[in-house]
Structure 1
Amino acid sequence: MKLLRRSEWALLAFILVYSSVPTVGGLIRVLELAGGPTIAPPNPRALADPLPITVHILTSFVFCLAGALQFLPSIKRQHPAVHRINGRVVAIAGCMSAATGLWMTHDYTFPAGLQGSLLYWVRIVLGSSMMVLIVWAVIAIRSRDRFRHTASILRAYAIGQGASTQTVMGIAWIVFAGSEATGPVRDAIMVSAWILNLAVAEILIRRLPKPGTRRTGSARQRSVIDRAKGTV
Protein backbone atom coordinates (compact mmCIF):
# COMPACT_ATOMS: atom_id res chain seq x y z
CA MET A 1 0.00 0.00 0.00
CA LYS A 2 1.44 3.35 -1.01
CA LEU A 3 1.71 5.95 1.73
CA LEU A 4 0.93 8.85 -0.60
CA ARG A 5 -0.29 9.27 -4.15
CA ARG A 6 1.99 10.87 -6.69
CA SER A 7 -0.05 14.09 -6.67
CA GLU A 8 0.25 14.24 -2.87
CA TRP A 9 4.02 13.81 -3.01
CA ALA A 10 4.14 16.68 -5.52
CA LEU A 11 1.99 18.89 -3.28
CA LEU A 12 4.07 18.04 -0.23
CA ALA A 13 7.32 18.75 -2.07
CA PHE A 14 5.99 22.11 -3.30
CA ILE A 15 4.89 23.17 0.20
CA LEU A 16 8.20 22.10 1.76
CA VAL A 17 10.26 23.98 -0.83
CA TYR A 18 7.99 27.03 -0.62
CA SER A 19 8.14 27.03 3.19
CA SER A 20 11.92 26.68 3.20
CA VAL A 21 12.38 30.04 1.44
CA PRO A 22 12.04 32.12 4.65
CA THR A 23 12.80 29.20 6.97
CA VAL A 24 16.43 28.88 5.93
CA GLY A 25 17.07 32.54 6.72
CA GLY A 26 15.22 32.18 10.01
CA LEU A 27 17.22 29.14 11.10
CA ILE A 28 20.44 30.94 10.20
CA ARG A 29 19.31 33.75 12.49
CA VAL A 30 18.62 31.28 15.31
CA LEU A 31 22.10 29.79 14.93
CA GLU A 32 23.60 33.27 15.09
CA LEU A 33 21.66 34.09 18.25
CA ALA A 34 22.87 30.81 19.75
CA GLY A 35 26.48 31.94 19.25
CA GLY A 36 27.15 30.69 15.74
CA PRO A 37 28.90 32.60 12.95
CA THR A 38 27.33 35.81 11.67
CA ILE A 39 25.99 35.27 8.16
CA ALA A 40 22.81 37.33 7.80
CA PRO A 41 22.78 41.14 8.13
CA PRO A 42 22.72 42.24 11.79
CA ASN A 43 19.31 42.64 13.44
CA PRO A 44 19.56 44.93 16.50
CA ARG A 45 16.04 44.03 17.63
CA ALA A 46 16.88 40.33 17.71
CA LEU A 47 20.13 40.96 19.55
CA ALA A 48 18.39 43.13 22.15
CA ASP A 49 15.57 40.63 22.78
CA PRO A 50 16.25 37.24 21.14
CA LEU A 51 13.51 35.20 22.87
CA PRO A 52 10.42 36.14 20.80
CA ILE A 53 12.15 35.95 17.44
CA THR A 54 13.79 32.61 18.27
CA VAL A 55 10.50 31.04 19.40
CA HIS A 56 8.70 32.59 16.41
CA ILE A 57 11.14 31.18 13.88
CA LEU A 58 11.13 27.67 15.36
CA THR A 59 7.36 27.43 15.83
CA SER A 60 6.68 28.90 12.38
CA PHE A 61 9.01 26.27 10.93
CA VAL A 62 7.06 23.49 12.67
CA PHE A 63 3.68 25.00 11.78
CA CYS A 64 4.43 25.33 8.06
CA LEU A 65 6.19 22.00 7.56
CA ALA A 66 4.12 19.78 9.87
CA GLY A 67 0.99 21.62 8.75
CA ALA A 68 1.61 20.50 5.18
CA LEU A 69 0.96 16.89 6.23
CA GLN A 70 -2.49 17.79 7.54
CA PHE A 71 -3.78 18.50 4.03
CA LEU A 72 -2.89 15.10 2.57
CA PRO A 73 -6.00 12.88 2.19
CA SER A 74 -3.99 9.65 2.36
CA ILE A 75 -2.62 10.52 5.79
CA LYS A 76 -6.10 11.37 7.06
CA ARG A 77 -7.60 8.19 5.63
CA GLN A 78 -4.87 5.61 6.26
CA HIS A 79 -3.24 7.02 9.41
CA PRO A 80 -5.89 8.95 11.38
CA ALA A 81 -3.89 8.67 14.64
CA VAL A 82 -0.89 10.35 12.97
CA HIS A 83 -3.20 13.05 11.64
CA ARG A 84 -4.62 13.71 15.12
CA ILE A 85 -1.26 13.79 16.90
CA ASN A 86 0.33 15.94 14.22
CA GLY A 87 -2.71 18.22 14.35
CA ARG A 88 -2.11 18.90 18.04
CA VAL A 89 1.52 19.77 17.31
CA VAL A 90 0.47 22.06 14.47
CA ALA A 91 -2.15 23.81 16.62
CA ILE A 92 0.30 24.49 19.45
CA ALA A 93 3.05 25.62 17.08
CA GLY A 94 0.65 27.86 15.16
CA CYS A 95 -0.63 29.60 18.27
CA MET A 96 2.91 30.15 19.55
CA SER A 97 3.99 31.47 16.15
CA ALA A 98 1.09 33.92 16.08
CA ALA A 99 1.59 34.98 19.71
CA THR A 100 5.31 35.68 19.27
CA GLY A 101 4.55 37.50 16.03
CA LEU A 102 2.19 39.78 17.94
CA TRP A 103 4.81 40.16 20.67
CA MET A 104 7.47 41.32 18.20
CA THR A 105 5.07 43.57 16.30
CA HIS A 106 4.06 45.40 19.46
CA ASP A 107 7.32 45.43 21.46
CA TYR A 108 10.06 45.69 18.85
CA THR A 109 10.94 49.16 17.59
CA PHE A 110 11.00 49.03 13.80
CA PRO A 111 12.44 51.74 11.54
CA ALA A 112 9.76 53.48 9.47
CA GLY A 113 11.19 51.85 6.34
CA LEU A 114 10.50 48.37 7.70
CA GLN A 115 7.09 48.81 9.29
CA GLY A 116 4.58 51.61 8.85
CA SER A 117 1.17 51.99 10.45
CA LEU A 118 -0.52 49.88 7.75
CA LEU A 119 1.78 46.90 8.25
CA TYR A 120 1.62 47.22 12.05
CA TRP A 121 -2.16 47.01 12.19
CA VAL A 122 -2.40 44.29 9.56
CA ARG A 123 0.07 42.20 11.57
CA ILE A 124 -1.96 42.76 14.73
CA VAL A 125 -5.24 41.82 13.05
CA LEU A 126 -3.89 38.78 11.19
CA GLY A 127 -1.85 37.48 14.13
CA SER A 128 -4.92 37.64 16.36
CA SER A 129 -7.07 36.10 13.62
CA MET A 130 -4.62 33.23 13.16
CA MET A 131 -4.88 32.29 16.82
CA VAL A 132 -8.69 32.51 16.75
CA LEU A 133 -8.88 30.39 13.59
CA ILE A 134 -6.70 27.66 15.10
CA VAL A 135 -8.79 27.57 18.28
CA TRP A 136 -11.96 27.50 16.18
CA ALA A 137 -10.53 24.64 14.10
CA VAL A 138 -9.95 22.63 17.29
CA ILE A 139 -13.48 23.36 18.54
CA ALA A 140 -14.93 22.42 15.15
CA ILE A 141 -13.21 19.04 14.95
CA ARG A 142 -14.28 18.22 18.50
CA SER A 143 -17.82 18.86 17.30
CA ARG A 144 -17.11 16.64 14.26
CA ASP A 145 -17.61 19.61 11.94
CA ARG A 146 -14.94 18.67 9.43
CA PHE A 147 -15.83 21.39 6.93
CA ARG A 148 -15.39 24.24 9.41
CA HIS A 149 -12.30 22.54 10.83
CA THR A 150 -10.59 22.33 7.44
CA ALA A 151 -11.72 25.81 6.37
CA SER A 152 -10.42 27.39 9.59
CA ILE A 153 -7.06 25.65 9.48
CA LEU A 154 -6.65 26.51 5.78
CA ARG A 155 -7.16 30.20 6.56
CA ALA A 156 -4.77 30.03 9.51
CA TYR A 157 -2.19 28.25 7.35
CA ALA A 158 -2.53 30.92 4.67
CA ILE A 159 -1.72 33.56 7.26
CA GLY A 160 1.18 31.53 8.66
CA GLN A 161 2.64 31.07 5.18
CA GLY A 162 2.68 34.85 4.67
CA ALA A 163 6.45 35.02 5.12
CA SER A 164 7.00 32.60 2.23
CA THR A 165 4.94 34.66 -0.21
CA GLN A 166 6.42 37.89 1.12
CA THR A 167 9.93 36.57 0.50
CA VAL A 168 9.07 35.53 -3.06
CA MET A 169 7.40 38.86 -3.80
CA GLY A 170 10.28 40.75 -2.18
CA ILE A 171 12.80 38.96 -4.37
CA ALA A 172 10.67 39.65 -7.43
CA TRP A 173 10.63 43.36 -6.52
CA ILE A 174 14.43 43.41 -6.18
CA VAL A 175 14.76 41.82 -9.62
CA PHE A 176 12.26 44.29 -11.09
CA ALA A 177 13.36 47.49 -9.33
CA GLY A 178 17.00 46.71 -8.63
CA SER A 179 16.75 47.48 -4.91
CA GLU A 180 14.98 46.22 -1.80
CA ALA A 181 11.54 47.66 -1.13
CA THR A 182 11.18 49.99 1.86
CA GLY A 183 8.53 52.24 3.37
CA PRO A 184 4.99 52.18 1.95
CA VAL A 185 6.06 49.96 -0.96
CA ARG A 186 7.36 47.33 1.42
CA ASP A 187 4.20 47.56 3.51
CA ALA A 188 2.09 47.09 0.38
CA ILE A 189 4.09 44.04 -0.72
CA MET A 190 3.82 42.44 2.72
CA VAL A 191 0.07 43.02 2.94
CA SER A 192 -0.50 41.90 -0.67
CA ALA A 193 1.21 38.59 0.10
CA TRP A 194 -1.30 37.84 2.85
CA ILE A 195 -4.20 38.89 0.61
CA LEU A 196 -2.95 36.53 -2.11
CA ASN A 197 -2.57 33.63 0.32
CA LEU A 198 -6.03 34.15 1.78
CA ALA A 199 -7.53 34.39 -1.71
CA VAL A 200 -5.99 31.01 -2.61
CA ALA A 201 -7.30 29.58 0.67
CA GLU A 202 -10.83 30.75 -0.14
CA ILE A 203 -10.63 29.13 -3.58
CA LEU A 204 -9.60 25.84 -1.97
CA ILE A 205 -12.33 26.13 0.66
CA ARG A 206 -14.96 26.53 -2.06
CA ARG A 207 -13.86 23.16 -3.44
CA LEU A 208 -14.31 21.36 -0.13
CA PRO A 209 -17.28 18.99 0.21
CA LYS A 210 -20.07 20.95 1.88
CA PRO A 211 -21.71 19.62 5.05
CA GLY A 212 -24.51 17.20 4.22
CA THR A 213 -23.33 16.62 0.64
CA ARG A 214 -22.98 12.90 1.11
CA ARG A 215 -26.20 12.64 3.07
CA THR A 216 -28.03 14.53 0.33
CA GLY A 217 -26.58 12.23 -2.29
CA SER A 218 -27.61 9.17 -0.28
CA ALA A 219 -31.11 10.56 0.18
CA ARG A 220 -31.43 11.07 -3.56
CA GLN A 221 -30.26 7.53 -4.22
CA ARG A 222 -32.77 6.15 -1.73
CA SER A 223 -35.51 8.24 -3.37
CA VAL A 224 -34.66 6.85 -6.80
CA ILE A 225 -34.62 3.31 -5.42
CA ASP A 226 -37.98 3.82 -3.69
CA ARG A 227 -39.54 5.17 -6.89
CA ALA A 228 -38.11 2.24 -8.81
CA LYS A 229 -39.58 -0.20 -6.31
CA GLY A 230 -42.95 1.55 -6.62
CA THR A 231 -43.03 0.87 -10.33
CA VAL A 232 -42.36 -2.84 -9.92
Structure 2
Amino acid sequence: MSGFVVMGITAFAASAYVTLDMSQARPEVHGPAHYGLLVAHIFTGTVAVVAGVSQFWPGLRSRHPRVHRVMGRVYFAAVLPSALLGIVCAQLSFYGLATSGPLTVLSVLWFASAAQGLRTARRRRFGAHRIWMIRGFALTSAAVTGRLWGLLLGGLLPDADGLLVFTTANWLSFVVNLLVAEWWIQSRGYTRALPSEALKPSISSRSAQSSASVA
Protein backbone atom coordinates (compact mmCIF):
# COMPACT_ATOMS: atom_id res chain seq x y z
CA MET A 1 0.00 0.00 0.00
CA SER A 2 2.76 2.44 0.93
CA GLY A 3 4.34 1.87 -2.48
CA PHE A 4 1.15 2.98 -4.23
CA VAL A 5 1.02 6.08 -2.02
CA VAL A 6 4.61 6.95 -2.93
CA MET A 7 3.92 6.49 -6.64
CA GLY A 8 0.68 8.48 -6.42
CA ILE A 9 2.34 11.49 -4.79
CA THR A 10 5.21 11.29 -7.25
CA ALA A 11 2.85 11.20 -10.23
CA PHE A 12 0.94 14.20 -8.89
CA ALA A 13 4.15 16.18 -8.41
CA ALA A 14 5.38 15.32 -11.91
CA SER A 15 2.05 16.11 -13.56
CA ALA A 16 2.85 19.83 -13.62
CA TYR A 17 5.63 19.12 -16.13
CA VAL A 18 3.79 16.84 -18.53
CA THR A 19 2.64 19.75 -20.70
CA LEU A 20 6.18 21.21 -20.79
CA ASP A 21 4.68 24.59 -19.90
CA MET A 22 7.50 26.53 -18.28
CA SER A 23 5.05 28.78 -16.42
CA GLN A 24 3.85 25.72 -14.46
CA ALA A 25 7.29 25.00 -13.00
CA ARG A 26 7.16 24.99 -9.21
CA PRO A 27 10.65 26.41 -8.60
CA GLU A 28 11.62 29.56 -10.46
CA VAL A 29 13.76 28.85 -13.52
CA HIS A 30 16.28 30.99 -15.37
CA GLY A 31 15.02 30.06 -18.82
CA PRO A 32 14.38 27.20 -21.26
CA ALA A 33 17.74 25.49 -20.64
CA HIS A 34 17.20 25.47 -16.88
CA TYR A 35 13.64 24.25 -17.35
CA GLY A 36 14.82 21.45 -19.64
CA LEU A 37 17.32 20.25 -17.03
CA LEU A 38 14.62 20.40 -14.37
CA VAL A 39 12.16 18.39 -16.48
CA ALA A 40 14.82 15.77 -17.25
CA HIS A 41 15.62 15.53 -13.53
CA ILE A 42 11.96 15.16 -12.56
CA PHE A 43 11.06 12.54 -15.15
CA THR A 44 14.14 10.38 -14.54
CA GLY A 45 13.42 10.73 -10.81
CA THR A 46 9.83 9.61 -11.38
CA VAL A 47 11.06 6.52 -13.24
CA ALA A 48 13.45 5.85 -10.35
CA VAL A 49 10.60 5.98 -7.83
CA VAL A 50 8.43 3.55 -9.81
CA ALA A 51 11.31 1.14 -10.50
CA GLY A 52 12.50 1.44 -6.90
CA VAL A 53 9.10 0.51 -5.48
CA SER A 54 9.16 -2.66 -7.59
CA GLN A 55 12.49 -3.70 -6.05
CA PHE A 56 10.85 -4.03 -2.63
CA TRP A 57 7.94 -6.14 -3.86
CA PRO A 58 8.71 -9.61 -2.40
CA GLY A 59 6.41 -11.45 -4.81
CA LEU A 60 8.14 -9.96 -7.84
CA ARG A 61 11.60 -10.78 -6.51
CA SER A 62 10.77 -14.40 -5.67
CA ARG A 63 8.41 -15.31 -8.52
CA HIS A 64 9.82 -13.20 -11.33
CA PRO A 65 13.54 -12.70 -10.67
CA ARG A 66 14.18 -11.74 -14.30
CA VAL A 67 11.68 -8.86 -14.08
CA HIS A 68 13.24 -7.87 -10.75
CA ARG A 69 16.67 -7.63 -12.41
CA VAL A 70 15.34 -5.67 -15.38
CA MET A 71 13.58 -3.17 -13.10
CA GLY A 72 16.78 -2.91 -11.08
CA ARG A 73 18.66 -1.88 -14.21
CA VAL A 74 15.92 0.64 -15.00
CA TYR A 75 16.27 2.02 -11.47
CA PHE A 76 20.01 2.57 -11.81
CA ALA A 77 19.64 3.97 -15.34
CA ALA A 78 17.22 6.55 -13.93
CA VAL A 79 18.88 7.41 -10.62
CA LEU A 80 22.40 8.06 -11.86
CA PRO A 81 21.49 10.77 -14.41
CA SER A 82 18.72 12.17 -12.20
CA ALA A 83 21.16 12.63 -9.32
CA LEU A 84 23.66 14.42 -11.57
CA LEU A 85 20.91 16.64 -12.95
CA GLY A 86 19.80 17.31 -9.37
CA ILE A 87 23.26 18.62 -8.53
CA VAL A 88 23.19 20.94 -11.54
CA CYS A 89 19.66 22.18 -10.82
CA ALA A 90 20.58 22.82 -7.18
CA GLN A 91 23.36 25.18 -8.24
CA LEU A 92 20.88 27.14 -10.37
CA SER A 93 18.59 27.86 -7.42
CA PHE A 94 17.44 31.48 -7.05
CA TYR A 95 17.78 31.34 -3.28
CA GLY A 96 21.43 30.45 -2.85
CA LEU A 97 22.86 28.05 -0.32
CA ALA A 98 19.63 27.85 1.69
CA THR A 99 18.04 25.72 -1.03
CA SER A 100 21.06 24.53 -3.01
CA GLY A 101 22.79 23.08 0.09
CA PRO A 102 20.32 20.35 1.06
CA LEU A 103 19.51 19.50 -2.55
CA THR A 104 23.19 19.16 -3.42
CA VAL A 105 23.90 16.93 -0.41
CA LEU A 106 20.84 14.81 -1.23
CA SER A 107 21.84 14.41 -4.88
CA VAL A 108 25.45 13.47 -4.05
CA LEU A 109 24.32 10.87 -1.50
CA TRP A 110 21.71 9.58 -3.95
CA PHE A 111 24.31 9.10 -6.68
CA ALA A 112 26.78 7.46 -4.27
CA SER A 113 24.18 5.02 -2.91
CA ALA A 114 23.11 4.02 -6.42
CA ALA A 115 26.74 3.55 -7.49
CA GLN A 116 27.35 1.32 -4.46
CA GLY A 117 24.13 -0.60 -5.09
CA LEU A 118 25.16 -1.26 -8.69
CA ARG A 119 28.71 -2.15 -7.70
CA THR A 120 27.65 -4.70 -5.07
CA ALA A 121 25.09 -6.25 -7.42
CA ARG A 122 27.67 -6.67 -10.18
CA ARG A 123 30.00 -8.34 -7.68
CA ARG A 124 27.13 -10.57 -6.53
CA ARG A 125 27.43 -9.32 -2.94
CA PHE A 126 23.68 -9.47 -2.50
CA GLY A 127 23.65 -8.85 1.25
CA ALA A 128 25.49 -5.55 0.83
CA HIS A 129 23.42 -4.83 -2.28
CA ARG A 130 20.20 -5.08 -0.27
CA ILE A 131 21.56 -2.64 2.34
CA TRP A 132 22.57 -0.09 -0.29
CA MET A 133 19.23 -0.43 -2.04
CA ILE A 134 17.42 0.35 1.22
CA ARG A 135 19.59 3.43 1.72
CA GLY A 136 19.21 4.43 -1.91
CA PHE A 137 15.44 4.15 -1.93
CA ALA A 138 15.27 6.14 1.32
CA LEU A 139 16.96 8.93 -0.65
CA THR A 140 14.78 8.35 -3.70
CA SER A 141 11.70 8.74 -1.50
CA ALA A 142 12.90 12.19 -0.38
CA ALA A 143 11.00 13.60 -3.36
CA VAL A 144 7.82 12.45 -1.62
CA THR A 145 8.67 13.02 2.03
CA GLY A 146 9.94 16.53 1.26
CA ARG A 147 6.47 17.55 0.12
CA LEU A 148 4.88 15.93 3.16
CA TRP A 149 7.28 17.74 5.49
CA GLY A 150 6.53 21.00 3.69
CA LEU A 151 2.79 20.54 4.20
CA LEU A 152 3.25 19.55 7.84
CA LEU A 153 5.57 22.44 8.70
CA GLY A 154 3.42 24.89 6.75
CA GLY A 155 0.36 23.78 8.72
CA LEU A 156 2.12 23.88 12.09
CA LEU A 157 3.91 27.17 11.42
CA PRO A 158 1.60 29.21 9.18
CA ASP A 159 3.38 32.48 9.98
CA ALA A 160 6.91 31.15 9.45
CA ASP A 161 9.15 32.37 6.66
CA GLY A 162 8.40 30.35 3.52
CA LEU A 163 12.07 29.91 2.61
CA LEU A 164 12.86 28.61 6.10
CA VAL A 165 10.01 26.09 5.87
CA PHE A 166 11.15 24.97 2.41
CA THR A 167 14.79 24.60 3.48
CA THR A 168 13.89 22.71 6.66
CA ALA A 169 11.59 20.39 4.72
CA ASN A 170 14.39 19.66 2.24
CA TRP A 171 16.81 18.68 4.99
CA LEU A 172 14.24 16.58 6.84
CA SER A 173 13.17 14.89 3.60
CA PHE A 174 16.30 12.77 3.41
CA VAL A 175 17.93 12.98 6.87
CA VAL A 176 14.90 11.42 8.57
CA ASN A 177 14.55 8.88 5.74
CA LEU A 178 18.17 7.79 6.17
CA LEU A 179 17.77 7.49 9.94
CA VAL A 180 14.70 5.29 9.47
CA ALA A 181 16.53 3.23 6.83
CA GLU A 182 19.51 2.67 9.13
CA TRP A 183 17.20 1.70 11.99
CA TRP A 184 15.50 -0.81 9.67
CA ILE A 185 18.83 -2.23 8.48
CA GLN A 186 20.13 -2.66 12.04
CA SER A 187 16.86 -3.96 13.51
CA ARG A 188 16.61 -6.61 10.79
CA GLY A 189 20.20 -7.69 11.34
CA TYR A 190 21.20 -7.15 7.72
CA THR A 191 24.71 -5.97 8.63
CA ARG A 192 25.29 -8.97 10.91
CA ALA A 193 24.41 -11.27 8.02
CA LEU A 194 27.23 -9.89 5.86
CA PRO A 195 30.27 -12.19 5.47
CA SER A 196 33.32 -10.99 7.36
CA GLU A 197 36.25 -10.09 5.16
CA ALA A 198 38.55 -11.21 7.96
CA LEU A 199 37.20 -14.76 7.68
CA LYS A 200 37.84 -14.98 3.95
CA PRO A 201 41.27 -16.49 3.18
CA SER A 202 43.36 -14.22 1.03
CA ILE A 203 44.84 -15.34 -2.30
CA SER A 204 48.29 -15.53 -0.75
CA SER A 205 47.11 -17.67 2.18
CA ARG A 206 45.26 -20.02 -0.19
CA SER A 207 48.40 -20.30 -2.32
CA ALA A 208 50.49 -21.08 0.74
CA GLN A 209 48.04 -23.77 1.81
CA SER A 210 48.08 -25.28 -1.66
CA SER A 211 51.89 -25.32 -1.69
CA ALA A 212 51.97 -26.94 1.73
CA SER A 213 49.57 -29.68 0.63
CA VAL A 214 51.62 -30.37 -2.50
CA ALA A 215 54.82 -30.58 -0.45
Whether TM-score is above 0.5 comes out as: yes
Q: TM-score, normalised by structure 2?
A: 0.78
Matched, 1:126 2:119: no
Q: Distance in 2 between matches of 1:211 and 1:41?
A: 44
Instruction: Tell me the equivalent position of 1:63.
Output: 48
Q: Distance in 2 between matches of 1:44 and 1:118?
A: 15
Residues 120 and 31 of structure 1, relative CA distance in 2, 3 Å threshold: same
Instruction: Tell me the equivalent position of 1:53.
Output: 38
Instruction: Tell me the equivalent position of 1:96.
Output: 81
Q: What per-residue deviation string (whole Å, max 9, x for no partner) do you get for residues 131-163 of structure 1?
A: 121111111112221121111121121112112
Q: How many residues align?
A: 192
8 Å contact kept, 1:59–1:93? yes
Instruction: Tell me the equivalent position of 1:80.
Output: 65
Residues 179 and 81 of structure 1, relative CA distance in 2, 3 Å threshold: farther
Matched, 1:182 2:162: yes
* Structure 2: stretches of 5+ with no match in the other structure: 197-215
Moved more, 203-212 or 155-164: 203-212
Residues 168 and 156 of structure 1, relative CA distance in 2, 3 Å threshold: same
Moved more, 80-89 or 127-136: 127-136
Q: TM-score, normalised by structure 1?
A: 0.73
8 Å contact kept, 2:79–2:111? yes
Q: What per-residue deviation string (whole Å, max 9, x for no partner) do you get for residues 156-196 of structure 1?
A: 21112112111111111222233675233421221012111
Q: Distance in 2 between matches of 1:23 and 1:208?
A: 34
1:93 offset after TM fit, Å?
0.5
Instruction: Tell me the equivalent position of 1:229.
Output: none
Q: What per-residue deviation string (whole Å, max 9, x for no partner) do you get for residues 45-94 of structure 1?
A: 07532211111111111111111110122222211111111100000101
Matched, 1:154 2:134: yes
Residues 125 and 176 of structure 1, relative CA distance in 2, 3 Å threshold: closer
Instruction: Tell me the equivalent position of 2:18.
Output: 30
1:24 offset after TM fit, Å?
1.2
